[in-house]
């Protein structure tokens, strides 16, 4: 049972001093100090952390200044680890190694070089944030590298506030599950924005937060999406991005300098963007509670789908001093199939059957050529995604597939997203639905990498035709977004119209030439119009609204001048300094002086 004492949540070491071996520890609450507890535990420990920023944070935390910690990741070598082990043992200090899964092999080899068998010689292995094995193994094949040795160890455990409900790896079957249950209300208020236009909903949210000086933290798992949003929201100069080393280089190629691989409070900006490597384990301690915005765009990338049961809980747990307000802005994609977990598992088993059947056919083939062709066909079957480098089934890849397909089901419709948040037990949800004339699905058509430039421009013209005269600010903004995507075709549409663009067969060269000619004609027409209007209207005279409208329309018609808005008596203000006056015969204008001569 976890309690609050004097308004603060109990530390794990207060209620569970030493994590037992063969345990799956479900903390329920993030930030109660599982890693801290193990660092302080009177035993040798090897703690596997999911990402480098977590290790950096722990090794630079003043709370651990007196602890004998070695952080192992890229840049720390096998000899460094061996030296640390020898020195620690000679000084009778507890060994406390924090390592990424990818660097674990260096740790293991260092112990082997010193003839120390960590499986039996009193070393405790703790895999922190164990849900990451499932969440990340599709793109981080080495995240599960430690697991074979892990299960051979006498003393071991995994821990998370959001562990998977079940594992495909049968070696977990003998583990005890210990769940810590809070005896207080730990739910957080969350505003769930379901929308068909993530960009516009985000823009309007930022406008509502304009007077709030607290920093804003965005969690969105796509560097491309972050770049696009920063540009279109106009916040590039007020932003900092925290992401992987590879993504830092990518952002710098776009001339964006405030991109960092490691979190430091000194790097904080008005708007802070964080990818999934910062979703869990990291401690963010701020003097003021920030506003947190989670973003999901199913059409931009499936991996931006935030899992309410795991990701959202972990994200909010990063802020050790709490948050001000929590928002999740998301669209949905009805193309995601609705399937139960049982149906997803059945799909996996069907793929496995087909793969094994092809192997049987290959082994039963009557000739070497047939056998070769069967094996070649087997290698192309999607089931190969579940195999490790030795062509054995990787249970974590199976878990990853089931997890990803389950999350896709959630984002089939808005009701499912709401239901997931309500069922996970961590949030008091306020649902807010926002619908716009055009949204992310329409934007997808003009951003598709599979479509040609001509196809994209045809789609933009079609959307402009449907949009017509913008009647709301959201519609005007969508048109500006189209212009951001392709300024040439939007300008061409405004000046030339759909029919003319089609006559030019969407040729860039012909469109540019037509725009130049049109602008020249409009400039010439404008000069002629000024001269005729000055000839037809005299200064220091009053004209009725009807007369003004009729004369200007007649002049525009004679000059074949196209207009983007209706001609009214108010149009006279574009050509004369005028004052509206009413007389007995009706409304009109007293013309003071011409604006152009």
Tell me the DSSP string of 359-403: HHHHHT-SSHHHHHHHHHHHHTSGGGGGB-TTS-B-HHHHHHHHH
The Cα 126–Cα 142 span in angstroms is 17
Average pLDDT over residues 385-403: 93
How much is the pLDDT for 588? 93
Element (H, E) at 433: strand 427-434
Band the pLDDT of 431: cuts 50, 70, 90: very high
* Residues 168-202 pLDDT 10s: 999 999 999 999 988 889 999 999 999 999 999 99
Of 442, 468, 439, the residue nearest 456 (C-alpha) = 442
Band the pLDDT of 1: cuts 50, 70, 90: low
Average pLDDT over residues 486-492: 91
How much is the pLDDT for 6? 64
Q: What DSSP character marks residue 77?
A: -
The Cα 473–Cα 507 span in angstroms is 31
How much is the pLDDT for 597? 74
Q: What is the b/e burial string over 280-296, where b = at least 16 CB atoms within 10 angstroms of the residue's CB?
A: bbbbbebeeebbbbbbb
How much is the pLDDT for 450? 78
The CA-atom distances, in angstroms, between 11 and each of 284, 479, 552 are 17, 53, 79
Band the pLDDT of 96: cuts 50, 70, 90: very high
How much is the pLDDT for 521? 67
**Around Cβ 559, how many Cβ atoms within 10 Å?**
14
Q: Which range among 104-113, 263-272, 420-429, 451-460 shows the weakest confidence by mean pLDDT? A: 451-460
Band the pLDDT of 267: cuts 50, 70, 90: very high
Burial environment of residue 257 by CB neighbours within 10 A (0 to 12, 13 to 18, 19 or more): exposed
The Cα 75–Cα 474 span in angstroms is 49
The Cα 42–Cα 95 span in angstroms is 10
User: Residue 468 — left, alpha, or beta (φ > 0 → left; ψ -120 to 50 → alpha)?
Assistant: left
94 has a pLDDT exceeding 60: yes
The Cα 84–Cα 81 span in angstroms is 5
Two tokens at 428? Answer: 């008091």
The Cα 569–Cα 257 span in angstroms is 52
How much is the pLDDT for 25? 94
The Cα 453–Cα 298 span in angstroms is 23
Strand pairing partners for 500? none
Average pLDDT over residues 311-329: 94
Q: What DSSP character marks residue 2?
A: B
Two tokens at 514? Answer: 């037509």
Two tokens at 285? Answer: 């301690």
Average pLDDT over residues 513-539: 80
pTM of the model: 0.80
331 has a pLDDT exceeding 60: yes
The Cα 267–Cα 289 span in angstroms is 16
| pLDDT above 70 coverage of the chain, percent | 97
* 281 in Cβ contact with 129 (< 8 Å): yes
The Cα 515–Cα 517 span in angstroms is 5
How much is the pLDDT for 565? 60
* 126 in Cβ contact with 159 (< 8 Å): yes
The Cα 419–Cα 460 span in angstroms is 35
* Residues 449-477 pLDDT 10s: 778 888 889 999 999 988 888 878 888 88
Two tokens at 327? Answer: 């928002």
* Residues 35-74 pLDDT 10s: 989 999 999 999 999 888 889 888 888 888 889 999 998 8
How much is the pLDDT for 524? 62
Band the pLDDT of 563: cuts 50, 70, 90: low
Strand pairing partners for 295? 329
565: helix, coil or strand?
coil
How much is the pLDDT for 54? 87
The Cα 79–Cα 284 span in angstroms is 32
Of 329, 296, 326, the residue nearest 189 (C-alpha) = 326
| pLDDT above 90 coverage of the chain, percent | 65
Residues 6+ apart with CB under 8 A from 290: 214, 215, 216, 217, 272, 319, 323, 324
The Cα 423–Cα 294 span in angstroms is 18
* 278 in Cβ contact with 49 (< 8 Å): no
Element (H, E) at 583: strand 576-583
The Cα 542–Cα 565 span in angstroms is 25
Q: Which range among 96-105, 367-376, 507-516 shows the weakest confidence by mean pLDDT? A: 507-516
564 has a pLDDT exceeding 60: no
- Of 403-407, 517-521, 523-527, the range with the highest mean pLDDT is 403-407
How much is the pLDDT for 595? 84
User: Residue 292 — left, alpha, or beta (φ > 0 → left; ψ -120 to 50 → alpha)?
Assistant: beta
* 446 in Cβ contact with 485 (< 8 Å): yes
The Cα 382–Cα 354 span in angstroms is 10
How much is the pLDDT for 75? 85
Q: What DSSP character marks residue 572?
A: G
The Cα 358–Cα 374 span in angstroms is 6
Alpha helices in 157-310 (DSSP H): 198-208, 223-233, 245-253
Average pLDDT over residues 242-264: 92
Angle formed by the axes of helices 473-485 and 487-496, to 10°? 120
How much is the pLDDT for 333? 94
How much is the pLDDT for 438? 85
Q: Which range among 407-421, 423-437, 524-538 shows the weakest confidence by mean pLDDT? A: 524-538
């Amino acid at each position: 049972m976890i309690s609050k004492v004097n308004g603060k949540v109990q530390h794990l070491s207060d209620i569970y001093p030493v994590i037992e071996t063969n345990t799956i520890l479900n903390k329920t609450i993030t930030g109660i100090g599982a890693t801290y507890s193990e660092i302080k535990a009177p035993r040798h420990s090897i703690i596997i952390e999911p990402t480098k920023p977590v290790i950096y944070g722990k090794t630079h935390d003043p709370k651990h200044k007196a602890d004998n910690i070695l952080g192992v990741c890229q840049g720390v070598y096998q000899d460094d680890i061996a030296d640390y082990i020898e020195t620690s043992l000679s000084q009778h200090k507890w060994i406390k190694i924090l390592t990424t899964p990818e660097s674990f092999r260096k740790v293991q080899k260092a112990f082997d070089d010193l003839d120390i068998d960590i499986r039996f010689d009193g070393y405790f292995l703790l895999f922190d944030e164990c849900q990451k094995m499932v969440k990340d193994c599709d793109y981080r094949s080495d995240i599960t590298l430690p697991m074979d040795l892990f299960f051979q160890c006498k003393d071991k455990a995994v821990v998370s506030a959001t562990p998977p409900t079940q594992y495909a790896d049968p070696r977990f079957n003998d583990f005890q599950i210990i769940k810590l249950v809070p005896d207080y209300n730990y739910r957080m208020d969350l505003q769930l924005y379901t929308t068909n236009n993530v960009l516009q909903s985000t823009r309007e949210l930022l406008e509502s937060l304009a007077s709030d000086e607290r920093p804003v933290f965005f969690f969105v798992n796509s560097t491309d999406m972050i770049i696009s949003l920063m540009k279109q929201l106009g916040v590039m100069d007020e932003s900092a991005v925290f992401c992987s080393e590879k993504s830092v280089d990518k952002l710098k190629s776009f001339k964006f300098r405030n991109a960092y691989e490691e979190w430091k409070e000194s790097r904080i900006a008005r708007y802070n963007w964080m990818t999934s490597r910062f979703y869990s384990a990291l401690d963010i301690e701020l003097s003021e509670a920030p506003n947190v915005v989670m973003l999901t765009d199913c059409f931009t990338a499936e991996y931006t789908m935030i899992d309410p049961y795991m990701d959202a809980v972990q994200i909010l747990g990063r802020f050790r001093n709490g948050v001000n307000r929590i928002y999740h802005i998301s669209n949905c994609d009805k193309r995601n199939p609705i399937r139960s977990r049982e149906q997803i598992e059945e799909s996996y088993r069907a793929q496995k059957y087909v793969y094994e059947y092809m192997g049987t056919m290959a082994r039963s083939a009557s000739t070497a050529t047939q056998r070769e062709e069967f094996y070649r066909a087997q290698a192309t079957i999607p089931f190969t995604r579940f195999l490790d480098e030795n062509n054995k089934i990787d249970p974590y890849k199976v878990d990853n597939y089931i997890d990803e397909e389950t999350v896709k089901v959630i984002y089939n419709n808005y009701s499912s997203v709401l239901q997931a948040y309500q069922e996970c037990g961590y949030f008091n949800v306020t649902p807010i639905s926002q619908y716009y004339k055009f949204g992310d699905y329409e934007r997808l058509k003009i951003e598709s990498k599979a479509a040609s430039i001509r196809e994209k421009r045809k789609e933009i013209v079609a959307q402009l035709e449907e949009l017509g005269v913008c009647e709301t600010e959201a519609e005007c903004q969508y048109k500006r977004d189209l212009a951001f995507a392709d300024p040439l075709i939007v300008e061409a549409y405004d000046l030339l119209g759909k029919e003319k663009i089609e006559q030019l067969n969407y040729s860039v060269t012909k469109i540019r030439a037509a725009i130049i000619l049109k602008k020249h004609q409009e400039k010439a027409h404008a000069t002629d119009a000024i001269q005729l209007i000055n000839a037809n209207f005299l200064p220091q005279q009053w004209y009725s609204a009807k007369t003004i409208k009729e004369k200007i329309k007649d002049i525009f018609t004679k000059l074949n001048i196209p207009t983007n808005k209706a001609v009214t008596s108010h149009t006279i203000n574009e050509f004369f300094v005028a004052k509206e006056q009413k007389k007995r015969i009706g409304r009109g204008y007293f013309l003071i002086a011409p604006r152009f001569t």
